[in-house]
Structure 1
Amino acid sequence: MTFTVSLPGCTSLKEKRQRIGGLHERFGRNPAVAVCESGELDSHDKSEWSFVVVGMTKREVTSLCSQIEDKLQRTVEGRVLDVRQQFL
């Protein structure tokens, strides 16, 4: 699952890191989730994050993806522009 987030008014990479604020810590604690910043690394006002979610069933993975999306929407100081999911 990949999220693209707009960070309106963000003027520096330092501010970007503060606004995104600890996605690794929030989501990376779960052993079924791997997370990394995967794009827009040098952009100040946009960020892209990818999550790899594993589970025994598609239902379990879908549920965890929904939880991640909900939490991301509530905690990031920005606007989610795009969410892409791919099941393997």
Structure 2
Amino acid sequence: MHIGVLTLKISLPGCRSLKEKRQRMGGLHERFGRNPAVAVCESADRDRLESSEWSFVVAAISPQKVESLCSEIEDKLQRTVDGRVLDVSRELL
């Protein structure tokens, strides 16, 4: 079993409330948490309106599958979130 951690720092310019922040992030828990190989959480900046950090823990049978899932998550997040991805880090455990 191989495990990877994908962390993304997202800028949400002009965000005025926590409710708006939740709407702009577009239900990441629901979207990515359905996959049994992925655990997702808002890992930092929970109370900051104009930024958010999300971490995804991915488990798979090979490092290549972990990388593939991380790439899918990153690509989908960049296309669907109403914000700008500032930083991406990946760590294979």
**Matched position secondary structure for 1:85:** strand
Match of 2:62 in 1: 57
Deviations 1:37-70 (A, max 9, x none): 0000110000000000000000000000000000
In structure 2, C-alpha distance between the alignment counterparts of 1:13 and 1:56, rounded to whole Å: 37
Residue 76 of structure 1, aligned match among 73, 78, 81: 81
Say how many residue pairs are matched. 88
Identity of aligned residues (%): 69
- Structure 1 moving runs of 4+ over 6 Å: none
Q: Which residue identity is paired with 2:17?
A: S
Across the aligned residues of Structure 1 and Structure 2, the Cα RMSD in angstroms comes to 0.4
Q: CA deviation at 1:77?
A: 0.2
1:86 shift after superposition: 0.6
Uncovered stretches (5+) of structure 2, i.e. residues with no partner: 1-5
Residue aligned with 1:26, SS = helix
Select the residue among 13, 16, 24 that pairs with 2:18.
13
Who is 2:7 aligned against?
2
Q: Are 1:28 and 2:33 an aligned pair? A: yes
Counterpart AA for 1:87: L
Match of 2:60, SS? coil
**Partner secondary structure for residue 86 of structure 1:** strand
Q: Greater share of strand residues, 1 or 2?
A: 2
Taking structure 1 as the reference length, the TM-score comes to: 0.98
TM-score normalised to the size of structure 2? Answer: 0.93
Point out where structure 1 has 5 or more consecutive residues left out of the alignment: none
What amino acid is the match of 1:54?
A
